[in-house]
Chain A
Amino acid sequence: MRRNLIRFGLAGVLAAGLLGTAAIVVRPEAPIPVATTDTRPPADVLAQRITRAQQQLRAVPGDWPGWASLGAAYLEQARITADPGLYPKAEEAALRSLRLRPDGNSDGLVVLGALANARHDFGAARDRAREALTVNDHDAGAYGVLADALTQLGDAAGATEAVQRMLDLRPGLAAYARASYDLELRGRVTEAESLMRQALDNAVDPHDVAFCQAQLGDLAFGRGDLATAEAAYAAALAADPSAFGAQHGMARIGAVRGDLSGYGRLVARMPATSTLLEYATLLRVADRQAEADQQIELAAAAEGLFAANGGADGLAAAELALAQGRPEEAVTAARAEWQRRQHPDVADMLAWSLHTAGRDAEALPYARRALAGGSRAAGHAYHLGMIELGLGQPEAARASLARALDTNPYFSPVDGPLARRALAGLRTSGGNR
């Protein structure tokens, strides 16, 4: 009972964090005084569309494309504000559209598919997308949903094909963004950046600008270019001060420099399990163990809420189990996620959980799998290296660890130094060089 009370208290902290989030999200913009010029900030076009669409649909409830568009707009809003509270509204709008027009309504199916993706139900998303394509084989949005789903399910070839179809039908920001991610997963980061820059060049909506800049920041960070990454994140935040991806990026850059205040603000705004755990790890390295434990407790509460509401996210669950020193449970969670989908990140999580549980032999194929598609994720290379080290393969370990550090020396304030130490040890203990 006492334990529950503690949990209750922690959840209260979590709720306070959420309230703080809301305060940040809705806070008024400060005007910039410039003579004889209209100084209003850019209108939130998406919010306006939603409001107007609601008004119009109240008057004209039979407008089935309007309902689908409203659902899509809700989803975009949910993505931008990281507010899943909009999901039921999006679903309701899409279902209403489909009730009004059950046949020939790819718009409604695309919204349902996108919603399934947002809820991490990637199999359902794939199915909705394919349904939409049987109705309308030129629907670029359906290919977008399909690409997202197949990427997450681990069907890399299928995802690439879907992205290509989307590019063939409707080149533009949405297609470029997916193409960029697809290329990144295949290690073609230069092309990935160039496509994302192309998307940015034509982005008009501040949210889109912020998205592209944040992605460019992540890509730059991924190859260890902190200055470029920071500039991109700053540009993203100039376009949209509440852009979560850019705030996350800035917090990561701050952490590299030993400043964890960005993470503090980040988790206050959005106390998601994985973000809280990242913060906890950083706090632990900074010898702030009590605060680290607090974050882990919060992460556990967040994960509990998520699961209690029917969510299933094996990655977050595995991360939490690792942070709490329960590697076998991490293995169980990661393996369950792997059954659902074979994305490189899941392979990596399963590998690392197995490694932490002392099962390096089992871990190795998954660690290799995480990188097999060509991904240059430094963290994955580090994990592979440590597993190889554990298996007594110094040569392979040296190559993997060097690869991690060459790709991005700042990939992790925790693992980076470990990688360096391991590498140094491998060199002095007489590798082939």
Chain B
Amino acid sequence: MTVDTRLRRTAAALGAIALLGGTLYGLGPGTATASSHREAPLVAADPAIDNTDLYAFVSPERPGYVTFVANWQPFEEPNGGPNFYPFATDATYHIKVDNDGDAKPDAEFKWKFRSVDNRGDSTFLYNNGPVTSIDDENLLFKQTYSLQSSFNGEPFKTRVEDAPVAPSRVGAASMPDYGTLRQQATRTLPGGWKIFAGQADDPFFLDLRVFDLLYGGDLSETGQDTVAGYNVNTIALQVPFADVALKGDATRNPVIGVWTTTERDRVRITGGRGSGGKVQVSRLGNPLVNEVVVPASLKDTFNATPPERDAGIPALVKRVLEPEVPKLIESIYKIPAPKTPRNDLAEIFLTGITTKAGGPIKADLNSQLNNADVKASRFRPSEQLRLNLSVPVAGAPDRLGVLAGDLQGFPNGRRLTDDVVDIELQALVGAAQTGKLVDALAAGDAVNTNDQQFSGEFPYVALPNGVAVNSAAKQPATAAKLTGSSPAAAAAPASDTDVAQPAPDLVPVAVVSGATGLGLVIVLAGVFLLLRWYRRRGRGADPDRTLTF
């Protein structure tokens, strides 16, 4: 036995001892000892550019004005302290409106954010005392923004500069009256525009408890609402119809299509082709399209694609016409998927609901093709959130929107209260195609409303949550909503269990798994809801309703 072999053996034994030693197991084969191997972050924390939701609706209390609410950066944990959630300063945030159906923006709104960081090198704290106004010196890190707009391809004009961003809510001691900060961050501009940017409660609602039933786990171990209690970064804008309607005439041309993007400057490190230009890093129109319709392997493609190219990407179009979710449900649960191609879904997602594109839904609701001054020959199918501005504001909005006969709701635009999870599931199992709404599905996932009340006026979204999510039961308003109306939820001791846990600052898996994780949630929710629906249908407890357009 050579010295070298003995050495290796000893070393191997030592390695084994080290492995047994818990913290000592660090010296595996992967120990990076080569100085040349520089490891850089790969999945860097960059959530500030992730679109989560877009809402577009006729302002309920302000006739003739349309409101856009766009959200970024999901799952902001309101655990206070030095944790806060700025908008990205090297990105631009966009809301784009297509009113002539060519899938190119005719009105474009562009936000750019700037940070004012007075923390210096001495502190990591967000504030060094109570913050009582939007320009309080105690707020050490502030953001402001500029808003520019461009119409019909003309150059961008600045509408406002240095508008204040409502800060991240970091607790009652630091921000005793957050409502004032919200108010001071809400501005009215010439032309009647209202603007807001800053933190808000995430208006999306969805119950993850479906997981439990599907996997046979213990409800008390999982039971946490996915989104309740978390905050997002919101950009809200309210403008007159005339500013976004084709030819400024919302009477002749009431339909608009909307989407939002996040863009960064293109950076080049190779020669040729020059620099300049933008990279679209995130895109969002209809809710959950990236999760429900687009498969994981096309998600990145979709995010990089402008709507004008949608129709030219066969794989994307195919996924609308032959969606995966109903097939998945069929393969597992033998519930027949509706026949393909799903032209009904193409109508909902790609053209808008209209009789002018040959689709199966016999109604004219929200396609730009229904605008009087649109040239049909220039129309190009694309994924947009389409809104008919002329539909009167509903006195009592139905969370199931159009499918329940409330034409002012999703998929005609999207209100904060629209239960898009249930609506899209209905659509995917063919509700729009058959013209029948499945009432068992309408009972839904027992989360039919947001955990926080929406405001009756701009920017409508609720104030940001101020209590760490896993201790949210301590917050009376939230607790009532969390336990909700469902007996199953009331019986679940989930919140109490979580409160008792020593680590209240946990971020849910959906942060990690991102949009595709949410997609899975939707798929599973669909399976769960369908199973319920399937069972109930057997009992004949399904008073179908015919769609009324």
Q: Which residues of A contact B (CB under 8 A)?
A: 3-4, 7-8, 11, 15, 18-19, 21-22, 32, 34-43, 45-46, 48-53, 55-66, 68-70, 72-73, 75-76, 78-79, 82-85, 87-88, 101, 104-107, 110, 114-115, 117-120, 135-141, 144-145, 148, 152, 160-161, 163-164, 167-179, 181-183, 191, 195, 198, 201-208, 211, 234-235, 238-239, 272-275, 301-311, 313, 315-316, 343-346
Q: Give the contacts of B41-62 with A (CB-CB under 8 A).
A: 41-46, 48-49
Q: A37-B128, A168-B279 are in contact. List 12 more A-B contacts (CB 8 A).
A: A38-B80, A49-B511, A55-B509, A76-B42, A76-B43, A84-B30, A152-B37, A174-B40, A203-B44, A207-B41, A305-B14, A313-B34
Do A274 and B27 touch across chains, with their CB atoms under 8 A apart?
Answer: no
Q: A53-B513, A60-B217, A315-B36 are in contact. Are A34 and B42 (CB under 8 A)?
A: no
Which of A18, A78, A239, A302 lies in contact with B24, CB distance below 8 A?
A18
Taking CB atoms, residues of chain B closer than 8 Å to A174 are: 40-44, 46
Chain A's closest residue to B267 (CB) is A167
Do A7 and B300 touch across chains, with their CB atoms under 8 A apart?
Answer: no
A61 to B508, CA, bound (A): 15
Which of B89, B212, B295 lies in contact with A202, CB distance below 8 A?
B89
A145 to B303, CA, bound (A): 20
Instruction: Tell me the dominant secondary structure on chain A's binding face.
Output: helix
The 6 closest A-B pairs by CB, nearest first: A56-B509, A345-B36, A138-B300, A311-B29, A177-B40, A40-B81
How close is B213's CB to chain A, nearest CB, in angstroms? 11
Taking CB atoms, residues of chain A closer than 8 Å to B81 are: 38-43
Do A34 and B125 touch across chains, with their CB atoms under 8 A apart?
Answer: yes
A36 to B129, CA, bound (A): 5
Taking CB atoms, residues of chain A closer than 8 Å to B88 are: 202
Do B28 and A181 touch across chains, with their CB atoms under 8 A apart?
Answer: no
Chain B's closest residue to A175 (CB) is B267
Do B45 and A208 touch across chains, with their CB atoms under 8 A apart?
Answer: yes
Do A38 and B32 touch across chains, with their CB atoms under 8 A apart?
Answer: no
A58 to B296, CA, bound (A): 22
Chain A's closest residue to B36 (CB) is A345
A344 to B295, CA, bound (A): 41
How close is A26's CB to chain B, nearest CB, in angstroms? 9
A133 to B279, CA, bound (A): 19
What are 6 A-B residue pairs whose CB atoms fall within 8 Å in the complex? A38-B125, A39-B81, A135-B297, A172-B49, A178-B40, A309-B27
Taking CB atoms, residues of chain A closer than 8 Å to B270 are: 160-161, 164
How close is B39's CB to chain A, nearest CB, in angstroms? 5
Interface string of B503-517 (1 = CB under 8 A from A): 101111111111011
Q: Which interface residue of B23, B25, B174, B304 has the most chain A CB atoms within 10 A?
A: B23
Taking CB atoms, residues of chain B closer than 8 Å to A135 are: 297
Taking CB atoms, residues of chain B closer than 8 Å to A172 are: 44, 46, 49, 264, 281
Chain B's closest residue to A38 (CB) is B81
Do A11 and B264 touch across chains, with their CB atoms under 8 A apart?
Answer: no
Do A63 and B520 touch across chains, with their CB atoms under 8 A apart?
Answer: yes
Do A84 and B28 touch across chains, with their CB atoms under 8 A apart?
Answer: yes
Interface string of B293-319 (1 = CB under 8 A from A): 001111111011000000000000000
How close is B18's CB to chain A, nearest CB, in angstroms? 6
A118 to B39, CA, bound (A): 8
Do A34 and B33 touch across chains, with their CB atoms under 8 A apart?
Answer: no
Do A204 and B281 touch across chains, with their CB atoms under 8 A apart?
Answer: no
Do A69 and B297 touch across chains, with their CB atoms under 8 A apart?
Answer: no
Q: A11-B14, A49-B512, A65-B513 are in contact. Are A272 and B29 (CB under 8 A)?
A: no
A272 to B513, CA, bound (A): 33
A78 to B42, CA, bound (A): 12
How close is B522's CB to chain A, nearest CB, in angstroms? 12
Which of B11, B44, B296, B301 lies in contact with A305, CB distance below 8 A?
B11
Chain B's closest residue to A178 (CB) is B40
Do B30 and A167 touch across chains, with their CB atoms under 8 A apart?
Answer: no
Taking CB atoms, residues of chain A closer than 8 Å to B217 are: 58-60
How close is B533's CB to chain A, nearest CB, in angstroms? 21
Chain A's closest residue to B28 (CB) is A84
Taking CB atoms, residues of chain A closer than 8 Å to B37 are: 120, 152
Do B513 and A63 touch across chains, with their CB atoms under 8 A apart?
Answer: yes
A58 to B299, CA, bound (A): 26
Which of A59, A115, A164 lies in contact with B222, CB distance below 8 A?
A59
Q: A59-B215, A104-B295 are in contact. Are A37 and B173 (CB under 8 A)?
A: yes
A82 to B129, CA, bound (A): 37
Q: Give the contacts of B79-94 with A (CB-CB under 8 A).
A: 79-83, 85-86, 88-91
Taking CB atoms, residues of chain B closer than 8 Å to A117 are: 39
A120 to B35, CA, bound (A): 12
Do B42 and A141 touch across chains, with their CB atoms under 8 A apart?
Answer: yes
Which of B15, B30, B82 lies in contact with A308, CB distance below 8 A?
B15
How close is A173's CB to chain B, nearest CB, in angstroms? 4
Q: Is B247 located at the chain interface by the 8 A CB criterion?
A: no
Taking CB atoms, residues of chain A closer than 8 Å to B508 are: 52, 56
How close is B516's CB to chain A, nearest CB, in angstroms? 4
Chain A's closest residue to B278 (CB) is A171
Taking CB atoms, residues of chain B closer than 8 Å to A163 are: 269
Which of A101, A171, A211 lies in contact with B40, CB distance below 8 A?
A211
Taking CB atoms, residues of chain A closer than 8 Å to B40 are: 144, 148, 174, 177-178, 181, 211
Chain B's closest residue to A75 (CB) is B42
Chain B's closest residue to A64 (CB) is B520
Chain A's closest residue to B210 (CB) is A60
Q: Which interface residue of A4, A56, A118, A239 has the most chain B CB atoms within 10 A?
A: A56
